[in-house]
Amino acid sequence: MTSQNPVFIPGPTNIPEVLRKAVDMPTIDHRSPVFGRILHPALDGVKQVLKTAEGRVFVFPSTGTGGWETAITNTLSAGDKVLATRNGMFSHRWIDMCQRHGLDVQVVMQEWGEGVPADRFEDILTADREHQIKAVLATHNETATGVRSDIAAVRRALDAAGHPALLLVDGVSSIACYDFRMDEWGVDIAVTGSQKGFMLPPGLAILGFSPKAMAAVETARLPRTFFDIRDMARGYAANGYPYTPPVGLLNGLNLACQMLLDEGLDNVFARHHRIAEGVRRAVDAWGLRLCAARPDLYSDSVSAIRVPEGFDANRIVSHALNTYDVAFGTGLGDVAGKVFRIGHLGMLTDVMALSGIATAEMVMADLGLPITLGSGVAAAQDHYRQSAAGSQRAAA
């Protein structure tokens, strides 16, 4: 039996019924003009979500990890130097991928709970007078720790250093959830996936390439075949793909972009912030704290919640699933067993969030943690009620 409860993992996210139906479509001839009428509006919609007028969008049958590989293999060559920070599991995995591809990665180590250190990046880039660093990697939203980093600050660091390195950004769990300004922030490659803010099943790696990144493609020497954007660009020009495309997912992406734009991106971002703040109020009421070190780092996509010392956070995740049929996110890497995660991105409402908060309370009470039932729910309710009242006053 399929549970009717929403999931509270940080992706894949809950899928609106209208998007589920859009993905579930009859087979078409993907070499016919019909496919072009699905493909090009989807690409244009992504451009609007990324806030880019200059960039080119590419969508591959893959996931965010495939998007990382697309970014580095299309713009870099073996031995190239890359600057990155390790502040969570997903930044760690992108670094590992770069090293496997023979890139020379200069890693700035950070505590898990901290963001990308733009000031430290500026020092390193300023000292790189020969411009050996070819790319800077930044994870906008570190999903493992619930940390949002300041990408605009990373761009300012590059500019202050007068450095020409490419800026490659992992926006897998941030794009379409909160503000992302590809052109304004000077992002050269933005990477995301279908299963987060776009509210679709997994299966699409979605990327934006700036003109500067497009130029780098011509001199890059890392091997690429499936992820070669030159082949993809030629396919797009002929209303097709260089291989069989995921037609249903692209049809869903087209509609997902329409839904986001119809809601209004500012409203989408405000909704994510409001729901996330309700979760944070609940965490505070429970007497717990977030993994993110400071409020300016708090993610509006996912909250990683620290449990008391000596308690295994995995017990919360397993008990919630086995007893209440509700999915929360487990801790990963350096914070495994130390945190559990509540995802609050994609298709989610205040009311849905309250059900997750209430379930987390029941689980922690069941497991003997000193939680007062209703405390977190009440704190979140108070926030959501005030937010709703404020919205009504603004509308009037």
Which among 234, 262, 290 is the end of a domain?
262
Q: Are residues 389 and 242 in the same domain?
A: no
Q: Per the domain annotation, does 4 fall within a domain?
A: no
Q: Per the domain annotation, does 1 fall within a domain?
A: no
Give the per-residue pLDDT at 3. Answer: 77
Q: Per the domain annotation, does 6 fall within a domain?
A: no
Q: Can you tell me the distance from the alpha carbon of 242 to that of 244, in angstroms, rounded to the nearest whole number?
A: 7
Q: Are residues 130 and 269 in the same domain?
A: no
245-266 pLDDT, tens per residue?
A: 999 999 999 999 999 999 999 9
Match 């449990």 to its residue by tokens. Answer: 307
Q: Per the domain annotation, does 3 fall within a domain?
A: no
Give the per-residue pLDDT at 1. Answer: 45
Q: Are residues 238 and 321 in the same domain?
A: no
Q: Judge contact between 134 and 215, C-beta under 8 A.
A: no
372-394 pLDDT, tens per residue?
A: 999 999 999 999 999 876 554 45
Q: Are residues 235 and 294 in the same domain?
A: no
Q: Per the domain annotation, does 10 fall within a domain?
A: no
Per-residue pLDDT of the chain (396 residues; tens, 9 = 90+): 467 999 999 999 999 999 999 999 999 999 889 999 999 999 999 999 999 999 999 999 999 999 999 999 999 999 999 999 999 999 999 999 999 999 999 999 999 999 999 999 999 999 999 999 999 999 999 999 999 999 999 999 999 999 999 999 999 999 999 999 999 999 999 999 999 999 999 999 999 999 999 999 999 999 999 999 999 999 999 999 999 999 999 999 999 999 999 999 999 999 999 999 999 999 999 999 999 999 999 999 999 999 999 999 999 999 999 999 999 999 999 999 999 999 999 999 999 999 999 999 999 999 999 999 999 999 999 999 998 765 544 544
CATH code of residue 273 = 3.90.1150.10
Q: What string of H, E and C letters represents the secondary structure of the chain? A: CCCCCCCECCCCCCCCHHHHHHHCCCCCCCCCHHHHHHHHHHHHHHHHHHCCCCCEEEEEECCHHHHHHHHHHCCCCCCCEEEEEECCHHHHHHHHHHHHCCCEEEEEECCECECCCHHHHHHHHHHCCCCCEEEEEEECEECCCCEECCHHHHHHHHHHHCCCCEEEEECCCCCCCCCCCCCCCCCCEEEEECCCCCCCCCCEEEEEECHHHHHHHCCCCCCCCCCCHHHHHHHHHCCCCCCCCCHHHHHHHHHHHHHHHHHCHHHHHHHHHHHHHHHHHHHHHCCCEECCCCHHHECCCEEEEECCCCCCCHHHHHHHHHHHCCCEEECCHHHCCCEEEEECCCCCCHHHHHHHHHHHHHHHHHCCCCCCCCHHHHHHHHHHHHHHHHHHHHHC
Match 């990373």 to its residue by tokens. Answer: 154
Q: Per the domain annotation, does 214 fall within a domain?
A: yes
Amino acid making up residue 329: G
Q: Are residues 209 and 276 in the same domain?
A: no
304 CB-contact burial (10 Å; exposed 0-12 / middle 13-18 / buried 19+): buried
Q: Are residues 179 and 38 in the same domain?
A: yes
Q: Are residues 277 and 255 in the same domain?
A: no
5-44 pLDDT, tens per residue?
A: 999 999 999 999 999 999 999 999 998 899 999 999 999 9
CATH code of residue 83 = 3.40.640.10
Q: Are residues 250 and 272 in the same domain?
A: no
Give the per-residue pLDDT at 387. Answer: 87
Q: Are residues 169 and 192 in the same domain?
A: yes
The whole model's pTM is what?
Answer: 0.96
Q: Per the domain annotation, does 276 fall within a domain?
A: yes
Number of domains in the chain: 2
Q: What is the CA radius of gyration of the chain?
A: 21
Q: Are residues 179 and 200 in the same domain?
A: yes
| Structural domain that includes position 351 | 265-395
Q: Are residues 43 and 25 in the same domain?
A: yes
Q: Judge contact between 339 and 329, C-beta under 8 A.
A: no
Which among 210, 242, 262 is the end of a domain?
262
Amino acid making up residue 46: V
Give the per-residue pLDDT at 2. Answer: 63
Q: Per the domain annotation, does 391 fall within a domain?
A: yes
Which among 262, 281, 311 is the end of a domain?
262
Q: Are residues 300 and 258 in the same domain?
A: no
Q: Which contacts of 308-311 are long-range, i.e. CB under 8 A and separated by 24 or more positions?
A: 308/369, 311/369
